[in-house]
Amino acid sequence: MTDLLLNHLGGKWVAGRDSGSGLFDPVLGTELVRVDSTGLDLNAGFAFARDQGGGALRSLTYRQRGELLSQVAKLLQSNRDAYYEIACANSGTVKNDSAVDIEGAIYTVSTYGKLGAALGDHHALADGEAQPLAKDGSFGSRHVQVPSRGLALFINAFNFPAWGLWEKAAPALLSGVPVVAKPATATAWLAQRMVKDVIDAGVLPAGALSVLCGSPTGLLDALQPFDVLSFTGSAETAALIRSHAAITRRSVRLNVEADSLNAALLLPGEAAGSQAFDLLVKEVVREMTVKSGQKCTAIRRIFVPQELFDAAAESISARLAAVTVGNPRNESVRMGALASRTQLTGFHDGLVHLRQQAELLHDGAGHALIDADPAVACCAGPTLLGCRDGDRADRIHDVEVFGPVATLLPYRNRDHALGLVRRGQGSLVTSLYGSDSGALAAAALELADCHGRVHVVSPDVAASHTGHGNVMPQSLHGGPGRAGGGEELGGLRALNFYHRRAAIQAGAAVLGALAP
């Protein structure tokens, strides 16, 4: 029997009452550990987090909480080798792909630690200047933000067990709000191990950080009015969450990140083989293959001028052909596995669905697996589809297939291109490629309303841009419409979700004493 990962709830490590579910190596098929959270007293555990964890965090200033985050970052850094081993085994990722998750998590925690230092020794945040309500200025109004006195529940996706945890937890803890993390079961090991390391080291107050592994019954039922809930996952699950009484009756604040058909667009006026063209090709291949395309920000649709369709198809396919797929433990392998058999099945079913409206430009099935048994390993080669009539191909704009696949589409002119990009109905990110700064800026503003982030790549930033799919803590992560309508990160903007805004009406002396 493999080891059972414990949950941490109510300030102690606790096991579920059943044998639980197994977590598997997606390449070798072996069971790694088991998780179970049945029978846990969620109400008591959540109350402990709110009262003990929240109370202890709120007694600290922003600077002090920032110092705790800096300690967490250093601790995670010291244990990173173990995290890479877990990621390889449980997520099937090569080292570079694991780094996106693990190093991204550590960098984000470190960033919010530094932001805490900048906020200083205060317990509340000012929100604008005082406004007079009396003609003589003796009475007025000032808005402040104070930490929510609930907890933050995170229901996370399988693809980023490290970063998905800490990109939410870092701003929550800096805000003074205790965290309960519920990682996706299939890859929960890495998140649980990180939480365990932090708790065992005694960095945070008791109750400030909890983790639930598995599928506890009544998870949302245990939420109270001043709690907040952040969900990353499918639009179908998000719809169920939105209909729960915790949201509809108790007004639990909800943030959702859901499906996203992100795009890459080469602006008109570029030639095949130009710097902008080559930058698009390079980024598309990277986004199709990093973490086997299992990124919420991955490029799913590629738009090029119609006269460049064949050249783009040839260039992207040539790069994809060089991608080696298989066991991430083999140093010659560039792309590992999908996270589970369920994900692999969904990927293949999705390809069948998309191919009803698209042709096959590069067949991922032609990639022989290295050091991996095709009958066992959840590996799939990168696949490029093409659709020459983007106006009629509704599936390409409506269905996200989560894996190493993208579809190339031609456009007639600028307006046609922007209209096709908008067919995604709201996305986390789109990237623009070109060499005309004015045209790039205009296109970025045109698309800003339907994307959480617009990533603009021109030859002058070829070596310095951070990447279409890389989420930086300084920038907003989230998107309108089908992407869920949520917002995360964005520097100090992330703290808004974990604070409550109130207007204080008082005399000038009182208002001046409220917050800096």
Q: Which residues are catalytic?
A: 257, 296
Q: How far apart are CA 266 and CA 417, in angstroms?
A: 9
Q: How far apart are CA 140 and CA 513, in angstroms?
A: 13
Q: Tokens 């995290």 sit at which residue? A: 83
Specify whether the CB–CB gap between 165 and 516 falls below 8 A.
no
Q: How far apart are CA 87 and CA 80, in angstroms?
A: 10
- Over the range 437-465, which residues count as b (16 or more CB within 10 Å of their CB) and which as e? eeebeebeebbeebbbbbbbbbeeeeeeb
Q: How far apart are CA 45 and CA 180, in angstroms?
A: 10
Q: Phi, psi (5° rounding) for residue 394?
A: -65, -30
The radius of gyration computed from the CA coordinates of the chain, to the nearest angstrom, equals 24
Residues 6 or more apart in contact with residue 358 via CB below 8 angstroms: 385, 386, 387, 393, 396, 407
Q: How far apart are CA 102 and CA 77, in angstroms?
A: 9
For residue 372, CA distances in Å to 22, 31, 329, 341, 380 come to: 21, 16, 10, 14, 11
What does the DSSP assignment read for 289-330? HGGGG--TT---EEEEEGGGHHHHHHHHHHHHHT--EE-TTS
Specify whether the CB–CB gap between 335 and 325 falls below 8 A.
yes
What does the DSSP assignment read for 135-204? TTSSEEEEEEEEE-SS-EEEE--SS-TTHHHHHHHHHHHHHT--EEEE--GGGHHHHHHHHHHHHHTT-S
Q: How far apart are CA 362 and CA 360, in angstroms?
A: 6
β-sheet bridge partners, residue 232 = 257
Distance between the two ends of the chain, CA-based, in angstroms?
A: 57
Specify whether the CB–CB gap between 38 and 212 falls below 8 A.
no
Residues 6 or more apart in contact with residue 344 via CB below 8 angstroms: 337, 338, 378, 379, 380, 403
Q: How far apart are CA 176 and CA 150, in angstroms?
A: 10
